[in-house]
């Protein structure tokens, strides 16, 4: 249990939170962050509350935030080995790759600053790793149902994961809000994520796995809660921007000849199924609005690419590359 001192804004380790600093960690938790220090604080708190877990370390990759990591973030080092590395602003994919190169654990666990891990998450994941020969693991994602947008996100995640799970226990779905891999599955000096992908880098990784005949194993009891902004307007704006930024990843997937998107028929069936669920009509309506918005933006991107006309007057930025500790990183000008 994490004891917090509300007056000082610092943390006080509980009696059972002293972890060995000499043992090599089994899990390395990699969390990229860009200005989301308050959200990250709650994420790190959920890591401190893990029960029955092997040794783990946390690697926070600061993607050149406006300010350095505050003291209340650095103080989580009282609970577990914590490394905070500052990285030139190059996007989330490059930040995760840098975290991989920094991490020491046998199992690399990815999550986001706006996620909260259930207390038994690492315990369930460690059992799945021990009892499985799989190298890729998708954790169960749920939404925070305390708001309308959170209920909508919970509905979206639950419907997707149920639809994309196959009889073998694997799924055609990969989301780095809760994802783990065995380090041994990585090639030497190989980037896990395409650094040119500013969004949907996890879906691009999924396409690469599917092309090799692999897919993540679903760890149903290792639960990660995704907490997103309660503002409907902010969520819709972010959905539209995400769909726009995903165009590079999906162009690469299309070039691979791998299908990761659901067919229009399957998508429609999924949306219809949501209406017969126990979720309120308002959540179902908002989910449909979000999906239609994303499809509209994706369609506009395809048209603008075919006509070679910048969408909304936004010219495509040309990536530049630079070297960081012997590795090439791509970023926008």
Strand partners, 11: 4
Q: Has residue 261 been placed in a domain?
A: no
Residue 73, in any domain of the structure? yes
Could you give the CA distance from residue 103 to residue 123 in angstroms, rounded to a whole number?
20
pLDDT recorded at residue 176: 97
Give the model's pLDDT for residue 46. 98
pLDDT at 330: 44
Residue 151 lies in a domain: yes
Residue 249 belongs to a domain: no
| Residue 10 CA to its chain's centroid (Å) | 27
Residue 309 lies in a domain: no
Q: What is the CATH number of the domain that holds 43?
A: 3.90.550.10
Q: Which two tokens stand for residue 160?
A: 């997707």
156-165 residue pLDDT tens: 999 999 999 9
C-alpha pair distances (Å), 265 with each of 10, 232, 260, 262, 270: 52, 27, 14, 8, 9
3-state secondary structure of 46: helix
Per-residue pLDDT tens for 215-251? 999 999 999 999 988 789 999 999 999 999 999 999 9
> What is the Cα–Cα distance from 192 to 204, expressed in whole angstroms?
10
Residues in the chain, pLDDT under 50: 1-18, 313-333
- Continuous segment of H or E residues that includes residue 155: helix 148-164
Number of domains, the chain: 1
Answer yes or no: is 264 within a domain. no
- Answer yes or no: is 155 within a domain: yes
Domain that holds residue 23: 3-228
pTM: 0.85
Among candidate residues 234, 243, 236, the one with its CA nearest the CA of residue 312: 243
The whole-number pLDDT of residue 299 equals 87
Considering the domain boundaries, does residue 90 fall inside one? yes
Residues in the chain: 333
Neighbours of 8 (CB within 10 A): 11
pLDDT number for residue 328: 41
Q: Are the C-beta atoms of residues 117 and 224 closer than 8 Å to each other?
A: yes
């Amino acid at each position: 249990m994490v004891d917090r001192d509300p007056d000082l804004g610092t943390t006080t380790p509980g009696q059972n939170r002293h972890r060995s600093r000499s043992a090599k960690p089994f899990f390395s938790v990699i969390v990229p962050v860009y200005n989301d220090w308050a959200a990250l604080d709650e994420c790190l708190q959920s890591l401190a509350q893990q029960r029955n877990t092997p040794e783990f370390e946390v690697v926070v990759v600061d993607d050149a935030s406006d300010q350095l990591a505050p003291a209340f973030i650095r103080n989580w080092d009282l609970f577990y080995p914590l490394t905070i590395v500052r990285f030139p602003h190059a996007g989330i994919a490059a930040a995760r790759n840098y975290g991989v190169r920094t991490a020491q654990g046998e199992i690399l666990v990815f999550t986001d600053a706006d996620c909260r891990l259930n207390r038994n998450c690492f315990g369930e994941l460690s059992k799945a790793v021990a009892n499985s020969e799989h190298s890729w693991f998708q954790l169960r994602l749920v939404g925070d149902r305390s708001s309308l947008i959170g209920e909508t996100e919970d509905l979206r995640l639950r419907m997707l994961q149920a639809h994309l799970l196959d009889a073998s226990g694997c799924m055609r779905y990969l989301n780095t809000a809760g994802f783990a891999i065995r380090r041994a599955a990585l090639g030497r000096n190989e980037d896990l994520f395409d650094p040119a992908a500013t969004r949907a880098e996890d879906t691009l990784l999924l396409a690469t796995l599917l092309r090799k005949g692999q897919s993540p194993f679903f760890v149903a009891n290792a639960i990660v809660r995704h907490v997103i902004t309660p503002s409907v307007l902010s969520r819709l704006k972010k959905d539209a921007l995400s769909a726009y930024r995903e165009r590079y990843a999906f162009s690469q997937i299309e070039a691979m000849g791998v299908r990761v998107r659901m067919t229009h028929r399957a998508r429609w069936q999924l949306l219809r199924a949501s209406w017969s669920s126990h979720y309120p009509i308002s959540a179902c309506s908002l989910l449909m609005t979000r999906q239609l918005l994303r499809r509209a933006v994706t369609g506009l991107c395809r048209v603008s690419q075919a006509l070679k006309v910048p969408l909304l007057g936004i010219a495509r930025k040309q990536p530049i590359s630079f070297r960081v500790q012997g590795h090439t990183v791509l970023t926008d000008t």
